[in-house]
């Protein structure tokens, strides 16, 4: 049986491992954290949102970014300090503006496909992830924003998504807890929300029960294409593995596999370079707060319908009775995981204004680094060398697209490397 390594135990890595296991591969997942979904897949906005499939490659986004550059609490913020990676990424981002419409339509199609896979997996495997199927409501504060939404809606329709324009009175009927005055909105009944961490962790446990191996607390030191396998496949992955005992030293081991699927988020760029591939991912930081609904008034005052506020670029999801997730912002600041108070404050202020009955006394802040490609499309394909594959670079839509891209990459692996193969490579001795 073919041995496949999946690097990364976030949502894309775990869904990829599941899809490969279902096709009969011998799968090993490698991750530097102790558990699955402990980085970017830990506390995102929670939306499974085909209605947020619009790619960012537009002059409108660029102009807003320039306007917001020196506003600390702006929805989009870029550190102007020079960096070759950042500015080369930006140049490619601009070069993809002509592909805005086609990529938005294709992303919408992927999102619809992904939701079908995900719901089927959750039902088949019995995974509880606070899934709410109440739709997503986009709200707009002026005519210009609503007119822009109509144009985007036409692209979504071309991708197969049905949603409807709603009036201010319909907004109040859809989500009665929402305060404020709005020009109009769009409602997508088929979109939904859920806890990405609970789903990913639950699916990882399903994979483990099905025979997928996990090497956790393991940092990838080197990935080398050996070509020792059939048809020139074969990789070796050198790891530093954290010790089991507090007073023990880390161990360094090298493992051999027939193939590797790189699902390493922002780490995919460095791994790709080792394998001869350019994977131009840039980390774009997003923030969230999880508001603990500790009293009855907060329970009743928090929305159940998921929201996207176009002006502030803030999204919400209700994660069961006792938790309310609020997320937003995009920060171009390199591989920086700091949780900044001036980026968290707009989220708590937004809750106080739009949902004044919700107590923010216990609001848990979080930040994660979205792995973004310049064209805003995930990289789901084979690398230059046999046995190397990528499923990474999903940006702000990893949760939404993951189950579709996992199926796509598993199909590509199966086409290039059928399950039937000579005796598998053996694990190499410790270095």
pLDDT of residue 245: 76
State the Rg of the chain over Cα.
Answer: 22
pLDDT of residue 247: 79
Alpha helical stretches, state H, 210-340: 268-274, 296-301
| pLDDT tens digits, one per residue of 112-130 | 999 999 999 999 999 999 9
Burial class (CB in 10 A: 0-12, 13-18, 19+), 357: middle
Helix, coil or strand: residue 327: strand
Residue with tokens 């999946």: 6
Q: What is the pTM of this model?
A: 0.94
Burial class (CB in 10 A: 0-12, 13-18, 19+), 385: middle
pLDDT of residue 431: 39
The first and second tokens of residue 306, run together, are 């998921």
Q: Give the number of other Cβ atoms within 10 Å of residue 22's Cβ.
A: 15
Cβ-contact 262, 5 below 8 angstroms: no
| pLDDT tens digits, one per residue of 319-334 | 999 999 999 989 998 9
| pLDDT tens digits, one per residue of 71-82 | 777 888 888 787
CA distance 404 to 15: 9
Alpha helical stretches, state H, 244-336: 268-274, 296-301
Q: What is the DSSP letter of 394?
A: B
pLDDT of residue 148: 95
Residue with tokens 């839509």: 397
- Average confidence (pLDDT) over 79-93: 89
pLDDT band at 244 (very low <50, low <70, confident <90, very high): confident
Buried b (16+ CB within 10 A) or exposed e, 114-153: bbebbeebbeeeebebbbbebbbbbbbbeeebbeebeebb
Cβ-contact 71, 424 below 8 angstroms: no
CA distance 76 to 74: 5
Reduced 3-state DSSP string for 40-70: CCCCCCCEECHHHCCCCCCHHHHHHHHHHCC
Q: Which residues pair with 78 in a beta bridge?
A: 332
Alpha helical stretches, state H, 161-229: 168-174, 196-209
pLDDT of residue 65: 82
- Average confidence (pLDDT) over 88-92: 94
Q: What is the DSSP letter of 385?
A: S
Specify the pairing of strand 314-318 against strand 306-309: antiparallel
The sign one gets for the Cα dihedral 30, 408, 46, 60 is positive
Q: Give the number of other Cβ atoms within 10 Å of residue 423's Cβ.
A: 6
CA distance 106 to 104: 6
Give the helix/strand (H/E) hosting 335: none
pLDDT above 70 covers a percentage of the chain that reads 97
pLDDT of residue 421: 55
The mean predicted confidence, pLDDT, of the chain is 94
Specify the pairing of strand 282-292 against strand 323-332: antiparallel
CA distance 127 to 217: 25
Would the pLDDT of 225 be above 80?
yes
- Average confidence (pLDDT) over 159-178: 98
CA distance 194 to 294: 20
Cβ-contact 382, 412 below 8 angstroms: yes
The first and second tokens of residue 208, run together, are 């483990």
- Average confidence (pLDDT) over 400-422: 92
More confident residue, 292 or 71: 292
The first and second tokens of residue 155, run together, are 């692209």
């Amino acid at each position: 049986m073919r041995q496949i390594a999946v690097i990364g135990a976030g949502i894309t890595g775990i869904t990829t491992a599941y899809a490969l296991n279902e096709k009969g591969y011998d799968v090993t997942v490698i991750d530097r954290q102790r558990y699955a979904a402990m980085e970017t897949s830990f506390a995102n906005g929670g939306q499974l949102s085909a209605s947020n499939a619009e790619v960012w490659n537009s002059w409108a986004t660029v102009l807003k970014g320039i306007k917001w550059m020196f506003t600390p609490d702006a929805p989009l913020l870029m550190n102007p300090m020079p960096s070759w990676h950042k500015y080369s990424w930006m140049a490619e981002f601009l070069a993809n503006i002509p592909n805005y419409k086609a990529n938005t339509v294709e992303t919408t199609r992927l999102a619809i496909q992904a939701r079908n896979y995900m719901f089927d997996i959750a039902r088949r495997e019995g995974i509880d992830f606070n899934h709410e199927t109440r739709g997503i409501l986009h709200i707009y504060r002026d005519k210009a924003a609503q007119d822009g939404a109509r144009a985007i809606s036409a692209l979504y329709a071309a991708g197969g998504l049905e949603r409807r324009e709603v009036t201010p009175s319909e907004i109040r009927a859809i989500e009665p807890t929402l305060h404020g005055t709005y020009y109009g909105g769009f409602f997508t009944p088929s979109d939904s929300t859920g806890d990405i961490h609970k789903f990913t962790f639950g699916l990882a446990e399903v994979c483990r029960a099905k025979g997928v191996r996990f090497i956790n607390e393991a940092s990838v030191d080197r990935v080398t294409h050996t070509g020792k396998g059939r048809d020139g496949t074969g990789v070796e992955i050198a790891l530093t593995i954290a010790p089991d005992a507090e007073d023990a030293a880390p161990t360094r081991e090298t493992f051999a596999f027939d193939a590797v699927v790189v699902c390493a988020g922002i780490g995919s760029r460095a791994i790709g370079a080792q394998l001869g591939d350019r994977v131009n991912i840039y980390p774009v930081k997003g923030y969230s707060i999880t508001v603990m609904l500790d009293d009855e008034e907060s329970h009743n005052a928090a929305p159940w319908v998921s929201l996207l506020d176009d002006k502030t670029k803030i999204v919400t999801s209700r994660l069961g009775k006792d938790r309310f997730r609020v997320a937003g912002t995009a920060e171009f600041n390199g591989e920086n995981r700091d949780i900044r108070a001036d980026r968290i404050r707009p989220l708590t202020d937004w809750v106080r204004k739009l949902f004044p009955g919700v107590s923010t006394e216990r609001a848990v802040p979080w930040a994660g680094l979205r792995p973004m490609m310049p064209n805003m499309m995930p990289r789901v394909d084979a690398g230059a060398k046999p046995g190397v594959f990528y499923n990474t670079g999903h940006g702000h839509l990893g949760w939404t697209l993951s189950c579709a891209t996992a199926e796509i990459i598993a199909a590509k692996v199966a086409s290039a490397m059928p399950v039937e193969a000579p005796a598998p490579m053996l694990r190499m001795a410790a270095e």
